[in-house]
């Protein structure tokens, strides 16, 4: 099984979906640690309730972004993590971090990238007026939501959608897509060809 680490900042519903899929035997991975950059993250409580190792590393306690990134990478290495999954982790990771986990950091974003990167992606989609949105799981590079795309799921935008109703429709797809991608990675079926990601059947 693939040893994974999950980075969180808030609610933790994607962390829960991944943990549930692993517990159900659907994904050949094991969660070595759940780490938050915010001590009050609900995700930490939920992880502990599942018996997972979960702790906070607070950026304020480090002298620089580089020092924080290095501490985060060191903590994940210490837990034996080989794949890092960002699940609502609201910080950009620098090269110091990414160099420690080449090709092994993934993120989920609530839009069809490259549309609507960054914050409030669901609100951005509504304001732009697109008729479909969705979610994207991608490899993380040093940019903001710019890395190679592994998988996407599409949802319709409805006439009466608010950012909240659209976010809920997208979230349901996130919870299906993210465990599936981790399964593919754990099975060694994902190959990077330039910017294109091939998933072997």
- List interacting residues with ligand GAR (CB under 6 A): 10-14, 43, 87-88, 108-110, 121, 171, 174
166 is in an annotated binding site: no
Residue 200 Cβ, how far from ligand GAR at the closest point, in Å?
26
Cβ–Cβ contacts within 10 Å for residue 154, how many? 11
119 is in an annotated binding site: no
* Closest to ligand GAR by CB, 69 or 174: 174
Which residues pair with residue 55 across a beta bridge? 35
200 is in an annotated binding site: no
127 three-state secondary structure: helix
144 is in an annotated binding site: no
165 three-state secondary structure: helix
Residue 26, Ramachandran bin (φ over 0: left; ψ between -120 and 50: alpha; else beta): alpha
Active site residue 109: yes
Residue 93 Cβ, how far from ligand GAR at the closest point, in Å?
12
* Closest to ligand GAR by CB, 100 or 133: 133
Closest residue to ligand GAR, judged by C-beta, is 88
92 is in an annotated binding site: yes
Query: How far is the C-alpha of 74 from the C-alpha of 39, rounded, in Å?
Result: 19
* Closest to ligand GAR by CB, 63 or 119: 119
Residue 170 Cβ, how far from ligand GAR at the closest point, in Å?
7
Q: What's the sign of the alpha-carbon dihedral 157, 161, 137, 29?
A: negative
Query: How far is the C-alpha of 44 from the C-alpha of 169, rounded, in Å?
Result: 24
Only one residue has tokens 């900042």, namely 9
Which residues pair with residue 2 across a beta bridge? 29
B/e letters for 9-20, b = 16+ CB within 10 Å, e = fewer, are: bbebbbbbbbbe
Task: Choose the catalytic residue: 38, 109, 138, 175.
Answer: 109
Residue 14 Cβ, how far from ligand GAR at the closest point, in Å?
3
* Closest to ligand GAR by CB, 109 or 183: 109
Known binding-site positions: 12-14, 65, 90-93, 107
Known binding-site positions for (6R)-10-formyltetrahydrofolate: 65, 90-93, 107
Active site residues: 109
């Amino acid at each position: 099984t693939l040893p994974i680490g999950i980075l969180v900042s808030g609610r933790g519903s994607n962390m829960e979906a991944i943990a549930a899929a692993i517990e159900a035997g659907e994904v050949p991975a094991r969660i070595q640690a759940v780490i938050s950059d915010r001590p009050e993250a609900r995700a930490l409580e939920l992880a502990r309730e599942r018996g997972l190792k979960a702790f906070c590393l607070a950026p304020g306690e480090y002298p620089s972004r580089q020092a924080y990134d290095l501490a985060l990478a060191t903590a994940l290495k210490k837990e034996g993590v080989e794949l890092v999954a960002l699940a609502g982790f609201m910080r950009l990771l620098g090269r110091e971090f990414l160099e420690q986990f080449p090709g092994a950091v993934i993120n989920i974003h609530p839009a069809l990238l490259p549309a609507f990167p960054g914050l409030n992606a669901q609100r951005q989609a509504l304001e732009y007026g697109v008729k479909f949105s969705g979610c994207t799981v991608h490899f993380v590079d040093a940019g903001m939501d710019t890395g190679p795309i592994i998988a996407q799921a599409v949802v319709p935008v409805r006439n009466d959608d608010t950012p909240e109703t659209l976010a809920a429709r997208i979230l349901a797809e996130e919870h299906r897509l993210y465990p599936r991608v981790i399964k593919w990675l754990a099975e060694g079926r994902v190959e990077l060809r330039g910017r294109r990601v091939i998933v072997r059947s």
